[in-house]
Structures are given as structure tokens and as C-alpha cells.
Structure 1
């Protein structure tokens, strides 16, 4: 097949990646088909009501691929997936890999019908697989009638929610049955360098961009993680992140490389993720720090002292509070401290034999499929010194092939040396481990002094009554910005502002970095993937919807002064 998408694919780089084995001749579908041929009855994929073997999964993907082809889709066409965590989402992904289509799964539950329609129009989607009534306003708005008239749209598939009959609609096709046995006129596409995945960024700092990946750029990350952490066919991998988020894609990569079972977080009503982790015998759990905090809190409430068979807990998407990592270690669970982006996957992580300090303080070293350098904030084409804070830049086999239909955004993402600039701030220690300080856009500048929110958050979460925390800027006419610390307290607990400030000082926070506003909230605005929407907090304070309490830390007099 010949790709019609404009990408950053470079033949010279590709040859180098193939020579090192980071890129190979396998597509994602080809790996699944190999497992189906070698271990047809081994379990591959599970949601709340279905458990598929590798043979079941590949057969169903074949049926979906045949139906998309019958609808007139061509190689390179985009297929949108707007579904909750159910096995059909992965079936569609593998069907796209088989036929050379581009899967677009990053359509989240908190999107509205109009937002989904806009994203589908932006990527000229040729097909959509969606669940009836899903989404922020799905009960009032109909996605199928809304997108049926899009110029590129050729096929709509309407799935019913679990336990209800499939809807009969004139504008939609029936999703192929699991036992369908199609007769193919074409063989699977065996080009692993084609674009197979288009994910819109979560947009916590602006308009989402369409990130393009090939089978190879995705699998390079999965291969490295499987090798470094000893993931094998006996692993039971539980993804707490929704299938619309890139963390779940990293979970799928590892599943396909290792041939293990992937369990998606699709708990039935009244069943918690903790219950599902225990029930499924999960050994490897993937999510964000918010998931970890919630699970540890539920374990504490229920008096549980073990997390079933779990040996490893992956955390990415935001900085891991040190206290969370310590609590997992006390349970005999290795925290996998991850740093990455949709653009480059989970490329930076700690290793099983790292010492306590490395595990809780850093994100370890770059995997074999990536390399990073720290670049000066004031001169992004110049490398920063050891220990100096700067912007994290990287390159390698798991890097995106660019932003879909957005040449300017693609160009702006690289410095003059050809390194992809993450927008995140960090520093390398003398062993080469990365300490992420925060996003450059999250940096709070108070009267010319740089304050890093993650440092405040890391210390604040250690307070025994703090459940979740978020530090963000509040505009100030004189100083530009001041720090506001928002807190969700533990159940039946309270935190007084002065108490928190004293805690921060005792924990080592500089008096120059102290919060000057305090908010006690019942919940935070969150993205679909579990990240705190600090931009929304900033807007709510500016608009007067939230009114933080002004606070000021004052040093306590010494006994001699008292």
C-alpha cells in the first residue's frame, strides 16, 4: 500500500531503527494473528461480560475489517471509535491495522456530540463506531444523525449499551458478530510503517492536536517495556485508563508483544476497580496517580493489606506523590514511575531493581526506543548542564510521525537540533535519571521568581489528611502570579490553611514558594484520563466561581524568642 498521509517518516532513520531491532516487520494485527496461531485458546482480552481468546479476537477483527472494506473504506481512511471500555474498541483497532486504516480512538466520554463531530470532520473520518447515548450529552443529542452528512463519512456502526438489544437505524450498519467468518479478497496489509493511529491530545493547555503513529512507533515502546519489566504471557495486565487514552494504547502494545491478557476497566454497577483487580487476578496495573490514590484509599477503608496478585503498578500522566510510591513499596508492589506523552509513549521509566530514592524521586532513564536531553529554557537550541532545570527534548523510534494536517504545529515542536520539545521541565541527575519538575505552561512566576507546582504538590500530599492536591497560579497585578493550593481532604478530615503551611515548611518548602491562596474543594475538574484540569481551576478563580482564601505563612518564634 502507498500512504497518502504526509508524515515525518524518514528512510534513513527507518533503516537505523530496523537495524537495531526497535522497528520490525510486524504490524499490531500480525502479532495478534501470530498469538492466535500459536496459542489459540489462551486469553487475550476481557471486559466486564466478555473474555476473548486470541483466536476469538483475531477472528472478530477479521470480520470487522471485512465489513469496513465492504463499506468502501480505503487504506489510509480514518475510523473513529467513541466507545466506553468494551472489547469492541480493540477489535476495531486491530481491524484497522489489518487493512491499513487509521484508528482514531481518543474520543472521550466527557466530549459532547458537537465536539466529536468537530474532531471527526477535522480528520475527515470515513467511519465511526459509537455507542448509543454515550458521551456528555448523548442522552439529548444523537451522534449518528449529527455526523451522517459529513463529506468523508461512509459507514456508521451503532452499538447498544451492554445488556440491551442492538438498535435498528437506517443510517447505521450492524457491528459484525463475534462468530462471523468473512471471506477476504485481500491479504492483511504488512506495512508496519503506515499510520495506524491518530490520537487527539487531551487539550489541557489548548486545542487538541492529532498525533500520528505507525505500528512500529507504537510497538517500539511496547517492546522496550516488556523487555525491561519482564512482562510475559502469564501477565494479567489491568488498564485503569479508558481505552480512549494513550495509556491504554501502551497497555495494548505490551499485550501484543508479550501475548498476555489485557483486562479493561469496565466494572459493572456496584463493583469497584479494586474489586475487579482482585477478581481478575491482575498482576500488572496501569493508570495515573489519581487511580493509585483512590485504590489505596479504598484499601485503607476496607482494611485490606494486599492488592491481590499485583506486583507492578504503572503510574503516568502527572507526577507521582512520593507518599503514594512509598505506600506501594510497603505493600510489596513495585511502582513503575513513568514519564511520557501521546507523542512519544511511555518512553521514560524506572526499573524493577532501582533503589528507593530513584523510584520515588525520578522517572528513571529513557527506554531503548528513545533518548532525551535537557535544553535551556532561555535558549532551547542549547543543552542545559547536569542538574540544571530546562525543557525536556527527545528523539527515537517511538516518536510520533507528526501532527495530522498541521504542518505549523509539527515544525514548532522541534528545536534547531531536531529534538522534539515536550513543553515539560526537568533535570537529569548524575546517574542520568530524569526528575520531572512540571509543565513549562504550569510554571508559576511570582515577581520573576520561578515556582514549580509539582514540588509543592509532592510535599502537600504527605499531609496525613490530604487526599488530593493541586497547585496553580492566581493572577496578581503587582507580582504577576501567586500560588493557590487546592486540596481535597480525606473523608471525615479537615485541614486548616495554617496547618498546611506549617506542614509544607517542615517538609522543606522554601518560604519563597509558599502558597498565598488556599482552597478546600470536594472534587477537582478532571480530564477523561484522570488529569487535574488546572486551567479550569484558574478560569473559575478568575471568573469568581471559586474564591480562594488569602493566606500567609509566618515563621513561628523560637523558644528563646517566645
Structure 2
């Protein structure tokens, strides 16, 4: 089974016996350009890791609670783990699923699996039997790594329940608990007591075009897709990003995003490529985060705007205790102006806003390091060196003029090689010139800055007028009574859709639809964009990666209208 439909031939990588051409939809000219300009330097994750170990053997690499691991100890543990994985039959091209919170062992697995050429496949912690079984079956995972019990849930019972249904699942590995039984193994025991002799005896030459990561989209479209990255597409990209942002070996990294999500997953690459230190927070907690920033002198912090807002709004927040921070990396959309100003003016911290998807990591990036306030607050930045974007109309064949909304297309060396087991979808989202159609909408200004309008599928069609929710949401974020807001379309018999806003108010605040309308009118918002209904809720429904689940909100308002007799499905 092939992921490519292009006529380009070349070296093929094997993922669970499925042949994948890394040149999928990249022309020979593009690939030659990536190599000649150093965008694909031909280095694997293990190459970069070995270099960090040589340069910083006794430096702190990993910190979790009272555990401190130096780079030398990091290498010893991952050498043993790689040997242990091979000993139980895990080898090149096999998929190993990992359902763990952010922890040291997750990082060990990233390095060890990359070293033997196996593919890491993260599974979100909130997933239960239905989702986990489906994902393990789809990926044909040879092994799965879990915490036997975490946050009140018994993951071992879940795996034991679904394992008989998965003939390809050879082994279950655990972190944080010793489990006896056939084909059950402890990661800690492998790392602590194993031997690395078998690794060197069976060393293979892992290529930078080998598949490194199989991960899934957030599922906001209702149909999560498995995307594949190689060492070249993801590690080389992380190295360029680290260089652009000036990461150094004195940096101490803290990520609030789960390592099962691509944004959180790459924290390891950032740190290893710069010789820095990672501090782990298994589960986001604003009070604990504030404590760790002060204690460990965190210099670099990353997370969604919601993570950062929650931390800075906590009762324990004291700006002077966070002066070690020199950079905050966030993304997804325009960062709220208030958040940027608070980080910059109160703490003295630069803010980086990266907009992208798992498929290509970063479309564009903006920063207070180099952008004006006007650009930082109204755009999602410009493309990184070596990457390109363009905006096309609904036919996907014609570029739209500057200032006109179109679908965002991306091309560059960090683009994924294809969707796992879905060559048809790969073909639908790529063209022969190497452009990837993102499904997002926006427009470019005359300076090359991208203004994000939102997901095409989130667009509200009100009587033929297109409304992108992001613009209204960004304005309402500044309403003094509003904590969080999500704008969705609600069905309407006459117009097709109308605008509805789901709102979480700040503690103790009441809010009416009239107040919302008045506020938007004061900002001279077009009348058709103003919500015609608001729903006040105690908290936003989130998907496993921390994004607002708009599908759930859209269904909720449709169900409410049906109950009220204002809408019928037939």
C-alpha cells in the first residue's frame, strides 16, 4: 500500500509493512532545494542527541520533581531502553503507541525509539477504551506504553480489556508501576538495569528520511487524521526554529501542552538541539507552574493562550517572581493583546505566536522580538525562512489578491509526508507543485503578514454572507465581563445559519445579549456579525489538546433549538 500518487520514485520507508515514499508530492526540484539550502541537513534525532551529550555530558537535561538527569545519564538510560525494546521485538518501522502524561520517560522513549528506527505514536491521556482501541487498531501498534493508573483512572484494566481484540499488539510497557505477566515490561527496569550491548551489536543506519512520528490531528473537523513526519521534516524544522528564536544551552524549558500533542511533543527537540534543560509538569496546574518557574528559573515557557492566561490570572501570580522568563511561545490564533502586554510589560518576557498545524508544524510566526505592536496584535506573523504560503479561491487553482480572504496553502521542508493509510486524503490536500491546502482561511497584507480568519469549516453562512468567527471572538475577549468565548453557527430556516456566542463570564459577572451587542456596536462591527443569541456556560468543552470543541457547541445549540421548537431536522 503506497501513500504516494506522484510519479516520483525514490527511497521508500516501511511503516508496519506499508510502503511510504518520502518524496510524496515533493518534486525533485523542491527536494534538491531543501537539501542544498540545509533545510534537510540529513541529521537524525539521535545524531543531534549524541552531539548534545558530547557537548554537555554533566549538564542537567531533565528535571521532574526531585529527579534530575544529566545528559550523560540521559544517554545511558536511552541506550539501555533502545536495547530493551529491541530485545522484546520492537524494531525499525514498527509503531509504538504512548499514552503517558508529560514525564521523563516520555522523553526517553522519543530518543530510544528514534535510535532504533521505530515510530512513536502518541495517544491523548483523556482517551478511553473506545478511542484507544480504535487508534491502536488503525495504527497496528506493536506495543503500547501506559501508566497503570493515573489521575484516578486504571489504564491497565483498560488495556487488559481491549488487548485480546488486537492481534498485532505484542507488548505492553508501563511507567510508574511494575506489572507482572507475559509480554508486560517496565520502562524503568529497562532504563535502570538493562544492558546497551545488544543495541551496538544490531546498530542500523537510521536515515533522516525515516519516519519518526505518527500523530493525529485534534479532531476539530470530526475526523482525526494520522499524519507522518520524518527526521528531516520535524527535527530539522525544530533546529531552524531554535536557531531563529536564539535558544541556548542555558535555557530551561517548561511546556504546559501535553507531549501527546505535536506542540508539546517538540519541546524535547527544542531542548536537545540547543543543549537546554526540560522541566516536566505531568498535568497543568497554574499554582504548580508558578512555583516551578520561580524555583527552576524557567527561561522558556510554551502553551496555549488559555494555559498562559490561567497562570497569569492565578491568585499566586507575582510578576517579580517570574523575571527569569525571557520567552513565551504560544499559538493557534492571534494572541490576546492583554496577554502579550502583561508578559512583556510586567515580566519583561518576549512573546512568540506560532500559527500552524500538526501536518506542517508552523505556517507563520510573529514575535515581539521583531514585530511592531500593530502587527503582533492583528496578525499571526510571516512565514519562516524556506517556507511559503499563498491564498487561493474556492477552486484551489487561482490565487486571491492581497487583502482578500482565501484558503491558506503551505509549502516547505517541514511538511508531513502523508496521511497514514489514507492516500486519497493525501492527494486531496496536496497538489503536484507541493502545496498543502490547510482548510484555514485568512488574507495577506502587502508586507506579507498573515491575518487569520479561522477554519473554513467554522465559517458561518448567514443568508449567503460569509462570517469568520475569529474576528468577533477576538473582540469579545476584551469585554471586561468575559473570560472565554466561542462563536458558532446555529441553524435557521430562513437564512441557513445565524450567529451564536457561547460565553464563560468572569467570576461573579452577569452578562446579557444586549451588552454584547452594544459592545460590538461600539467597535463598529457589521451588524450581521453580531451574535443573535448568547449562551452562558460555566466552562468551555475542550478536546484532548486543549482547544475549544466547537463541534460540541454547534450540536448543543442545534439540540436546544429543536427542544424549543425553533428548528426541525426533517
Shorter-chain TM-score above 0.5: yes
1:425–1:262 distance in 2 versus 1, CA, 3 Å: same
Alpha-carbon shift at residue 96 of structure 1 (Å): 1.2
Q: Residues 195-220 of structure 1, C-alpha deviation per residue, up to 9 Å, x if partnerless?
A: 01000111111221111001110023
Partner secondary structure for residue 365 of structure 1: coil
C-alpha distance in structure 2 between counterparts of 1:401 and 1:501, whole Å? 46
1:327 aligns with 2:339: no
Deviating more after overlay: 165-174 vs 428-437: 165-174
Q: Please report how far the alpha carbon of residue 396 of structure 1 lies from its aligned counterpart in structure 2 after TM superposition.
A: 0.8
Q: Does 1:194 align with 2:207?
A: no
Alignment of structure 1 residues 489-504 onto 2, 5 Å: 489-504=505-520
Question: Structure 1 residues 207-216 or 186-195, which shifts more?
Answer: 186-195
Look up the match of 1:554.
none
What is residue 207 of structure 1 aligned with on the other side? 223
Alignment of 1:339-354 (within 5 A): 339-351=355-367, 352-354=369-371
Tell me which of 186, 196, 202 is aligned to 1:174: 186
Q: Which whole-Å deviations, capped at 9, do the CAs of 1:316-350 have from their partners, x for residues lacking one? A: 13442233223323222222111000000124101
- Which residue of 451, 462, 465 maps to 2:467? 451
2: CA distance between counterparts of 1:41 and 1:449?
A: 61
The residue number in structure 1 matching 2:7 is none
How has the CA–CA distance of structure 1 residues 535 and 498 changed in structure 2, closer, same or farther, with 3 Å as cutoff?
same
Q: Which residue does 1:412 correspond to in 2?
A: 428
- Cα 1:102–1:217 shift into 2, 3 Å: same
Q: Note if contact 1:80-1:103 (Cα within 8 Å) is conserved in structure 2.
A: yes
Call closer, same or farther: CA 1:138–1:276 in 2, change over 3 Å.
same
Displacement of 1:126 in angstroms is 0.7
Q: Measured at CA, do residues 475 and 91 of structure 1 come closer, stay the same or move farther in structure 2, by a change above 3 Å?
A: same
SS in 2 for 1:4: strand
Tell me the CA shift for residue 368 of structure 1: 1.9
Go from structure 1 to structure 2 and tell me whether the alpha carbon gap of 1:202 and 1:267 turns closer, same or farther (over 3 Å shift): closer
Equivalent residue runs for 1:64-463 within 5 Å: 64-105=81-122, 107-134=123-150, 138=154, 141-147=157-163, 150-160=166-176, 165-175=177-187, 176-178=190-192, 180-183=194-197, 184=199, 185-187=201-203, 189-266=205-282, 271-298=287-314, 302=317, 304=319, 307-331=322-346, 332-351=348-367, 352-376=369-393, 378-415=394-431, 417-463=433-479
Two-structure CA RMSD over aligned residues (Å)? 2.4
- Structure 1: how far apart are the matches of 2:206 and 2:155? 41
3-state DSSP of counterpart to 1:494: coil
Are the counterparts in 2 of residues 68 and 155 from structure 1 also a CA contact under 8 Å? no
Mapped pair 1:478 → 2:494:
yes
Residue 188 of structure 1, CA deviation: 5.3
Q: What is the TM-score with the length of structure 1 in the denominator?
A: 0.91
The 10-residue stretch of structure 1 (14-23 or 183-192) with the greater mean CA deviation from structure 2: 183-192
Task: Give how far 1:546 is off.
Answer: 11
Equivalent residue of 2:112, what SS?
helix
* Alpha-carbon separation, structure 1, partners of 2:539 and 2:81: 40
Change (3 A) 1:303 1:177: closer
Per-residue deviation at 1:363? 1.4
Contact map agreement 1:236 1:283 (CA 8 A) in 2: yes
The correspondence for 2:53, drawn from 36, 39, 51, is 36
Answer yes or no: is 1:18 the counterpart of 2:31: no
**1:497 positional shift:** 2.2
Residues 318/251 of structure 1: CA separation in 2 closer, same or farther (3 Å cut): same
CA 1:394 to 1:267, structure 2 compared with 1: closer, same or farther past 3 Å?
A: closer
How much has 1:309 moved relative to structure 2? Answer: 1.3
Mean Cα displacement is larger for which, 215-224 or 142-151? 142-151
Aligned length: 542
- Structure 2 segments unaligned to the other structure (5+ residues): 1-10
Cα pair 2:333 2:452 within 8 Å, conserved: no
**Residues 455-506 of structure 1: CA distance to partner in whole angstroms, max 9, x if unpaired?**
0110001011211111111111111111111111112223232222211121
Equivalent residue runs for 1:48-59 within 5 Å: 48-59=65-76
Q: Name the structure 2 match of 1:540.
A: 556
* Structure whose residues are more often helix by fraction: 2
Question: Match of 1:7?
Answer: 20
Moved more, 464-473 or 276-285: 276-285
Deviation per CA, 1:38-78: give whole Å up to 9, x if none: 21111222233422211122221111111111111231000
